């Protein structure tokens, strides 16, 4: 996950000329925060490795939906700025 934030920052700079810290802030924060999130998810998965597979998959899908929702929100805000 933190690697995705880094890639997003690189792309915003290279392809869109976004260089101001406020324009990169969301992904800059997530470069660090996602390291913590990844460690937490690994811990959760290890604790539940022998658990109910349906519950594990449902939880993973819920988390992924939240992540996509966050990226959708960033995209929508960007579209407002462009207009």
Cα separation, 2 vs 4, in Å, equals 5
Confidence of residue 69 (pLDDT cuts 50, 70, 90): confident
Query: Any idea where the domains of the chain sit in the sequence?
Result: 2-82
Across residues 65-77, what is the average pLDDT?
78
SS3 for 51?
coil
Confidence of residue 79 (pLDDT cuts 50, 70, 90): low
- Check residues 62 and 70 and name the one with the higher pLDDT: 62
- Check residues 3 and 80 and name the one with the higher pLDDT: 3
Is pTM beyond 0.75 here?
A: no
Question: Residue 51 has which token pair?
Answer: 């658990």
Each residue's pLDDT tens digit, 1-24: 788 899 999 999 999 999 999 999
């Amino acid at each position: 996950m933190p690697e995705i934030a880094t890639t997003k920052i690189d792309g915003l700079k290279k392809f869109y000329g976004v260089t101001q810290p406020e324009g990169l802030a969301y992904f800059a924060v997530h470069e660090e925060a996602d390291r913590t999130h990844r460690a937490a998810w690994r811990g959760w998965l290890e604790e539940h490795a022998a658990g109910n597979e349906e519950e594990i998959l449902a939880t993973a899908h819920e988390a992924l939906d939240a992540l996509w929702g966050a990226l959708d929100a960033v995209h929508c805000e960007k579209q407002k700025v462009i207009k």
